[in-house]
Amino acid sequence: MLGRKQNIRNEDWIEAMAHIEETVSRDEIDSLADTTVGNIRETVDGKNAAYAWSGGKDSIVLGDLAERAGIAKSMIGVCELEYPAFRAWIEAHRPAECEIVNVGLGLDWLASHEELLFPDTAAKAARWFSIVQHKAQREYFRRQSLDVILLGRRRADGNYTGGGIYTDGKGVTRYSPLADWKHEHVLAYIHYHDLPLPPIYGWKNGFLCGTHPWPARQYTNGNGWQEIYEIDPGIVTAAAEKIESARLFLEGGER
């Protein structure tokens, strides 16, 4: 069984997905999903609700369950630093009523905040969620006059879920119906329901990094620009015009 996300290797995720039918049966995941849909309906009954969809595996499962529970409205928070291939996938696969909320943040901004380029601590990585996803969720929550927004947070990932539902200091009420789902449950639901995953999960360390914007990768082991270059050389070329470390990487020659 997979443990805490921070301690799992990318190859372990891939192996777990390949053998998921040996770990979680269709009956088991269907029963859990039915219970979760029932919980969602009960929790949001009479409320103006929507869900946050990131294109990551957890939000893909959340979106399918939320739609089954009758919640159609959704949103995704992005910035100008997403992988082009991921942005294209979003456009092709986002839910029918999913609004894209772009908080900006491009290369000029990143050049003046290079400490966030390749986060080397959980605290720095968490800042990305605050300035992209959380900001977008807050804007959408207020614009839609929501009572609650559903998230795909799970305790197995080390995420804060506030007992499942909580209201933060800025008045945003967040509900995490997948809070008690294990990693294997998420993988099983995706497998048995044949849900598409973005290309990120096929890239190096994709299951570890998830759908962060392209510079925010925690698992590069000091080879951030190399990893980005292997995925999309054009990103590094564009960054080299603004960020010295990218320019020095390109000048280094052998890749």
Between these two residues, 254 and 210, which has the higher pLDDT value? Answer: 210
Q: What is the pLDDT of residue 4?
A: 61
Q: Which sequence spans correspond to the domains of the chain?
A: 7-219
User: Do 186 and 57 contact (CB within 8 A), yes or no?
Assistant: yes
- pLDDT per residue as tens digits for the range 103-156: 999 999 999 999 899 888 878 888 898 999 999 999 999 999 999 999 999 998
Which of the four pLDDT bands, split at 50, 70 and 90, describes residue 1? low
The DSSP element (H or E) to which 173 belongs, if any, is: strand 173-175
Handedness of CA 76, 82, 87, 90 (dihedral sign): negative
Q: What is the pLDDT of residue 254?
A: 56
Q: What is the pLDDT of residue 207?
A: 83
Taking residues 5-24, what's their average pLDDT?
87
At 190, list the tokens: 């995706």
Taking residues 225-229, what's their average pLDDT?
92
| 8-17, 187-196, 232-241, range with the lowest pLDDT | 8-17
* Non-local CB neighbours of 37 within 8 Å, separated by 6+ positions: 65, 68, 69
User: Do 65 and 37 contact (CB within 8 A), yes or no?
Assistant: yes
Residue 207 and residue 13: Cα distance in Å, rounded?
7
- Placement of tokens 């620009």 in the chain: 225
How high is the mean pLDDT of the chain? 92
Query: Distances from the Cα of 234 to the Cαs of 12, 62, 91, 138, 238, in angstroms?
Result: 30, 33, 20, 32, 6
Instruction: Tell which residue, 130, 172, 174, 176, has the closest CA to residue 155.
Output: 176
- pLDDT per residue as tens digits for the range 178-201: 999 999 999 999 999 999 999 999
Residue 234, judged by CB atoms within 10 A of its CB (0-12, 13-18, 19+), counts as: exposed
- pLDDT per residue as tens digits for the range 47-79: 999 999 999 999 999 999 999 999 999 999 999
Which of the four pLDDT bands, split at 50, 70 and 90, describes residue 6? low
Q: What is the pLDDT of residue 225?
A: 93
- pLDDT per residue as tens digits for the range 101-115: 999 999 999 999 998
* Non-local CB neighbours of 171 within 8 Å, separated by 6+ positions: none
Q: What is the pLDDT of residue 209?
A: 81
Does residue 230 carry a pLDDT above 60?
A: yes
Taking residues 20-29, what's their average pLDDT?
96
CATH of domain 7-219: 3.40.50.620
Handedness of CA 127, 133, 137, 140 (dihedral sign): positive
Residue 94 and residue 63: Cα distance in Å, rounded?
10
CA 87 to chain centre: 13
Q: What is the pLDDT of residue 239?
A: 96
DSSP 226-251: HHHHHH-HHHHHHHTTT-HHHHHHHH
